[in-house]
């Protein structure tokens, strides 16, 4: 009988531990999904900004040799990813593409004088209103530069939308953390409270609070790691299903650093929440007297 009772007790403890791990991993999955959405939104914004270009127009009469001499100076300016000289013929081709060849036929060739210009591709980190103002000032200060043009209103709109999306997702992550802390805290509190009489017995024989708390904290650490591992498996499965159905959308979430960040957030959240919840529950139980253990 004792062996049978021990097996039943071990089976119950294992079942309770697995239930706790599954419950905690589901809470961590919410945090992982919110983090994935946030990193995906930032990756999409960076890709949009990486294609931003500015046009640097030169004064009339500047030769291609003089313009070519400005290339190294423009390329050396911080925020410039690459720069290319747009000749008069290339500028006319671009104008034809925008307005149509039939529209340009009404003008004589000598009536259309297109100045040379530079097509400047911007670094994504510099695509912001304040950074572009500084960059535009540096470009306009170069000799023989007539003016600088870039899609200012579009860039401001992208920045405003990114701030809104970041705020919403940050609130979502905060809500997921709160929900996870409540769910995990209740799960841990139930597990710890089930051992309250064992804890009280250890107090009666003279065990210190630190000695009593140590195995519970170690169990919480292992529980947090196991839950985070299971949450990462579920997160990976969801991302794989998303990749099968919508690979273009999943591409923003499957970037290497993003996956590492998601995994790191799930592990950190799982371990910290389990440790904090266990510490709080242990502190409450260790302060109880014998009569309070029955309520």
As to burial, measured by CB atoms within 10 angstroms (0-12 exposed, 13-18 middle, 19+ buried), residue 84 is: middle
Contact 235, 32 (CB under 8 A): yes
Report pTM.
0.66
State the pLDDT at residue 157. 79
Write down the pLDDT at residue 103: 43
pLDDT averaged over consecutive 10-residue blocks of the chain (295 residues)?
56 69 82 82 76 81 80 85 76 54 48 71 79 83 83 76 79 77 71 70 76 82 89 88 78 72 88 84 69 56
Q: Is residue 173 within 8 Å of 48, Cβ to Cβ?
A: no
Q: Tokens 């273009």 correspond to what residue?
A: 248
Domain ranges of the chain: 2-47+157-294, 53-150
Strands, DSSP E only, in 150-216?
none
- pLDDT for residue 202: 77
What is the pLDDT at residue 12?
A: 64
The CATH number of 53-150, from 3.40.190.10, 3.30.70.520, 3.30.70.3040, 3.90.1170.50, is 3.30.70.3040
Q: How high is the pLDDT of residue 57?
A: 83
Q: Tell me, what's the pLDDT at 229?
A: 92
Sign of CA dihedral 232, 238, 243, 246: negative
pLDDT value at residue 110? 47
- The torsion angle over the Cα atoms of residues 237, 238, 240 and 246, rounded to 10 degrees, is 170
Asked if residues 117 and 55 have their Cβ atoms less than 8 Å apart, the reply is yes
Per-residue confidence (pLDDT) for residue 114, from 0 to 100 = 65
In sequence order, what are the residues at sequence separation of 6 or more whose Cβ sits closer than 8 angstroms to the Cβ of residue 221?
271, 274, 275
């Amino acid at each position: 009988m004792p062996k049978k009772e021990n097996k039943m007790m071990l089976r119950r403890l294992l079942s309770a531990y697995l239930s706790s791990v599954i419950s905690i991993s589901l809470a961590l999955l919410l945090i992982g999904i919110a983090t994935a959405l946030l990193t995906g939104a930032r990756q999409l914004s960076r890709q949009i900004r990486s294609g931003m270009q500015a046009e640097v127009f030169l004064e009339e009469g500047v030769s291609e040799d003089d313009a070519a001499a400005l290339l190294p100076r423009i390329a050396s300016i911080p925020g410039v990813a690459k720069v290319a000289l747009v000749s008069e013929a290339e500028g006319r081709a671009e104008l034809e593409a925008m307005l149509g060849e039939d529209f340009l036929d009404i003008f004589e060739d000598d009536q259309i004088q297109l100045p040379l210009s530079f097509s400047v591709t911007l670094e994504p980190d510099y695509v912001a209103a304040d950074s572009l103002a500084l960059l535009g000032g540096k470009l306009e200060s170069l000799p023989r530069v007539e003016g600088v043009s870039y899609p200012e209103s579009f860039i401001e709109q992208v920045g405003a939308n990114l701030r809104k999306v970041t705020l919403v997702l940050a609130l979502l992550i905060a809500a997921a953390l709160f929900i996870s802390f409540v769910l995990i805290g209740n799960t841990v509190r139930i597990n710890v409270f089930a051992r309250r009489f064992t804890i009280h017995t250890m107090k009666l024989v003279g065990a210190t609070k630190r000695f009593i708390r140590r195995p519970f904290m170690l169990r919480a650490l292992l529980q947090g790691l196991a839950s985070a591992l299971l949450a990462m498996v579920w997160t990976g499965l969801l991302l794989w299903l998303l990749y099968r159905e919508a690979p273009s959308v999943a591409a923003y979430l499957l970037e290497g650093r993003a996956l590492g960040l998601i995994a790191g957030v799930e592990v950190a959240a799982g371990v910290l929440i389990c440790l904090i919840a266990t510490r709080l529950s242990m502190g409450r139980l260790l302060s109880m007297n014998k009569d309070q253990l029955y309520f």
